[in-house]
């Protein structure tokens, strides 16, 4: 008699149950952290990720992490700089990663240039109060997305640093 294979993580089982039992579609979640925090330590989450109901709808396409002016900002994943500049008065930097995702960091002043290669954990710039949307606090807006154009999908960047908790609910009541 052959023993059934043991699951290494409860995440695949929980996602399978959610799909089979008619739960909401789940975002792809790595089984273990693959990235690192963009701010030193484990920063305070000020505003969580909220995906819009429709691509053009309202939501919060990233997370806001509490920081201080001049604080170093680090690459969550290794990547290539695809943007370093200012959009609508807000300085920022974007990195394209080998897995097809792109991470963004705002408001961040950087000396990096498009085409520079940055390793995970290396500094990409410094946090600045210019353009911060968390006033009177100062926050790093950290975003993650995949695809382009009509296939653009915003993802929760916290999945890079921690596997989200899975909570199974009863089938009734």
Per-residue pLDDT tens over the stretch 56-94: 777 778 899 999 999 999 999 999 999 999 999 999 999
List the chain domain ranges. Answer: 34-160
- Residue 27 confidence (pLDDT) above 50: no
CATH of domain 34-160: 2.70.70.10
CA distances from 116 to 22, 83, 126, 128, 129 (A): 45, 10, 17, 21, 25
Short-list 130, 63, 139, 72, CA closest to 103? 63
- What's the CA gap between 110 and 54, in Å, rounded? 33
**Residue 8, strand partner residues:** none
Per DSSP, the three-state class of 91 is strand
**Residue 74, strand partner residues:** 123
Q: Mean pLDDT, to the nearest integer, of 108-134?
A: 94
């Amino acid at each position: 008699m052959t023993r059934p294979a043991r699951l290494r993580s409860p995440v695949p089982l929980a996602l399978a149950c959610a799909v089979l039992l008619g739960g909401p579609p789940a975002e792809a979640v790595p089984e273990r952290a693959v990235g690192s925090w963009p701010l030193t330590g484990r920063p305070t989450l000020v505003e969580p990720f909220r995906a819009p109901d429709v691509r053009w709808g309202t939501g919060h396409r990233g997370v806001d992490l509490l920081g201080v002016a001049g604080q170093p900002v680090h690459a969550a994943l290794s990547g290539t700089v695809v943007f370093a500049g200012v959009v609508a008065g807000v300085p920022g930097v974007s990195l394209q990663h080998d897995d097809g995702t792109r991470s963004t960091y705002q408001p961040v002043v950087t000396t990096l240039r498009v085409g520079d290669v940055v390793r995970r954990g290396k500094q990409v710039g410094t946090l600045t109060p210019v353009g911060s949307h968390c006033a009177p606090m100062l926050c790093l807006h950290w975003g993650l997305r995949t695809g382009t154009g009509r296939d653009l999908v915003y993802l929760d960047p916290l999945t890079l640093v921690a596997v989200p908790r899975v909570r199974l609910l009863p089938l009734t009541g």
